Amino acid sequence: MSLTATSGDARSVTGIRIDWTPYLVGVGIGVLSWLAFAVVNAPLGITTALSQVAGGAAAPILGADAVAQNAYWKSNPFTLDYGTLFLVGTFFGGMASALAAGSFRFEVVPTVWRERFGGSPAKRLAVAFLGGLIAMYGARLANGCTSGNGISGGLQLAVSGWTFLAAMFATGLVTAALLFRKA
């Protein structure tokens, strides 16, 4: 359960590349989940906060009245709370972790995508946006995302959490097999 460190990685901020073990990361997520319940009495989750932030961001564009009349945003108004801080912290924590580990890179078209679908950044971004939109819509229909339903539900030994995890992994395997099969 230790971090693996090797020197000489030019991308690393620290000069040492750190490969996070899944065991250590799993323990960290478990501790974070426990702290979330102990301190704020809430599970881990991001999609509710993300949709609330979207409502807050939509207000200047669509008008405050349009957002206030929207049934979803009316029941989930923007608030600066634990969920919003968790959303922001997840982004910056992931960035800090990648920089510290020496694994950060900005890549619009990953190699595996380029080999299968070509090198078009517009195509890659369009498909990524559409996939994110579908995943977000599904997460809101399920009243929670991977972290909310899967991680928090699984840690609580909820049947719904384990069912969600099984369905998510099965869907991921089928999707990967279809999209990335050898031509």
Percent of the chain residues past pLDDT 70, beyond the cut: 90
DSSP element (H, E) containing 83: helix 82-101
Quick check: 136 pLDDT over 80? yes
User: For residue 16, what pLDDT is reported?
Assistant: 63
The reported pLDDT for the residue numbered 85 is 92
pLDDT digit string (tens) for 137-173? 888 888 778 778 888 888 899 998 899 899 989 999 9
Mean pLDDT of the chain: 85
pLDDT score recorded for residue 60: 92
Which alpha helices (DSSP H) does 2-109 contain, by range?
A: 22-40, 47-62, 64-69, 71-75, 82-101
For residue 5, what are the β-bridge partners? 18
Tell me how far apart the alpha carbons of residues 144 and 162 are, in angstroms, rounded to a whole number.
14
What's the average model confidence in pLDDT over 76-93? 90
Query: What is the per-residue pLDDT for 7?
Result: 42
Burial class (CB in 10 A: 0-12, 13-18, 19+), 52: buried
Tell me: pLDDT of 14 over 90.
no
10 Å Cβ neighbour count for 44? 23
- Mean predicted confidence (pLDDT) in 170-181: 88
Given this model, what pLDDT does residue 6 score? Answer: 42
SS3 state at 14: coil
Is the per-residue pLDDT at 50 higher than 50? Answer: yes
Confidence of residue 4 (pLDDT cuts 50, 70, 90): very low
Task: Look at residue 74 in the predicted model and tell me its pLDDT.
Answer: 87
